[in-house]
Amino acid sequence: MEKVIFDTDPGIDDSMAILFAAACPEIKLLGLTTIFGNTTLEGTTKNALFLKEKFNLDYDVAMGEETPLFIRAGKCPSFVHGDNGLGNIKLPDIDLSKIHHLRAPEYIISKVREFPHEVTIMCVGRLTNLAKALMLDPDLAPLIKKVIIMGGAFGHHGAFGNVTPFAEANIAGDPHAADLVYTSELNIDTVGLDVTQEVIMNESYLQKLRDNCHKAGPFIYEISRFYYDFHKKSAGLDGFYVHDSSAVMCLVRPDLYTFEEGPVRVVCTGPAAGHTIQKTSTKAYPKDEWASSKALCKVAVEVNAQGFLDHYFKVLEVF
């Protein structure tokens, strides 16, 4: 089984990804490390604990960073995920005393050191927790088996950004953290908007999930009403893009994706802050800010959308 730390800001699509990961027989979820983003840090942490209790799941919840490395935190996108991050469904009181005694960056370090070369870290929010772990422990990166990032937009299929014309939310939320991660000695697979916006769960698919996937389907349907309305208003879709579950799919079904290899850098300041750029050519330049990257990066450029939807359904049907 693949040992996974899921770094997340639940979040409606984060929650759908957590349930999918929990249902995948190939995955052993060690812990959820939480991050500010879709709602406040307290809110994302409560939501991680809520899912654990509601679905009787076995993972640690380690609370992470509350602000980006160097910039100020933006406003939470309550118009996308609701005020509580879960589409404003009614939530019970959650006891925060059940969180892990280590903060997220230290939790990541301790698990990777306990299981060297065995832990995959899936990041589906700002990359601040992982960046902090790498700053605290400079020898950590080569001990991490793989990092899978839902983030960025590389211009394939016309995908350049969703929070600015040239930046995706998770990267724009902390571009310095993202650039640090992308230049560290890591093995990184990225599923950005290029592929996540190619997979759409429409209303009839969501109803099928609700009616056939008895454990998680009705809950997914309930929390995603708000997300569905947002996509309908903002993009005219009958359905929504499948962002964070793409990180899980990339681990369990890499055959559904086509990748391009080459180092990635992140624009950290100015009007294009948060823009992700991959260098796929091997051409040499007198000055090359990509050449010094120590990471092995693969960026997904194509996805088999029907294969994705079928597999997501199949896994949740037997959860």
> 88, 77, 87, 14: which is closest to 48 by C-alpha?
14
Is 243 a catalytic site residue?
A: yes
Which stretches of the chain bind ligand BDR, using CB under 6 A? 11, 13-14, 38, 80, 124-125, 150, 162, 168-170, 243-244
Residues 111-150 that bind Ca ion (CB under 5 A): 124-125
User: For Ca ion, which is the closer residue by CB, 109 or 150?
Assistant: 150
User: For Ca ion, which is the closer residue by CB, 64 or 125?
Assistant: 125
User: For Ca ion, which is the closer residue by CB, 16 or 141?
Assistant: 16
By a kind-dependent CB cut-off of 5 to 8 A, residue 134 interacts, out of ligand BDR, Ca ion, none, with none
- Contacts with Ca ion: how many residues (CB under 5 A)? 6
DSSP 140-169: -GGG--EEEEE----SGGG---SSBTTB-H
Q: Are 184 and 258 in contact (CB under 8 A)?
A: no
Residue 29, strand partner residues: 4
Name every residue whose Cβ is closer than 8 Å to that of residue 183 and which is 6 or more positions away in sequence. 263, 265, 292, 293, 294, 295
CA distances from 91 to 51, 85, 169 (A): 10, 11, 25
For the record, the structure tokens of 219 come out as 């809950």
Q: Which of 231, 243, 275, 311 is catalytic?
A: 243
Q: Round to whole Å and give the CA distance between 256 and 307.
A: 7
Q: How far is the CB of 143 from Ca ion (least distance, A)?
A: 25
CA distances from 137 to 109, 129, 296 (A): 7, 12, 19
Place of tokens 């499948």: 242
Stretch that binds Ca ion, among 3-11, 63-71, 135-143, 198-206 (CB under 5 A): 3-11
Q: How far is the CB of 40 from ligand BDR (least distance, A)?
A: 14
Stretch that binds Ca ion, among 11-19, 186-194, 257-265, 297-305 (CB under 5 A): 11-19
Q: How far is the CB of 84 from ligand BDR (least distance, A)?
A: 14
187: left (phi over 0), alpha (psi -120 to 50) or beta: beta
User: For Ca ion, which is the closer residue by CB, 9 or 174?
Assistant: 9
Q: 237-256 mask for Ca ion (x: CB under 5 A)?
A: -------x------------
By a kind-dependent CB cut-off of 5 to 8 A, residue 60 interacts, out of ligand BDR, Ca ion, none, with none
By a kind-dependent CB cut-off of 5 to 8 A, residue 175 interacts, out of ligand BDR, Ca ion, none, with none
Provide the binding-site residues for Ca ion, judged by CB under 5 A.
9, 11, 14, 124-125, 244
Active site residues: 243
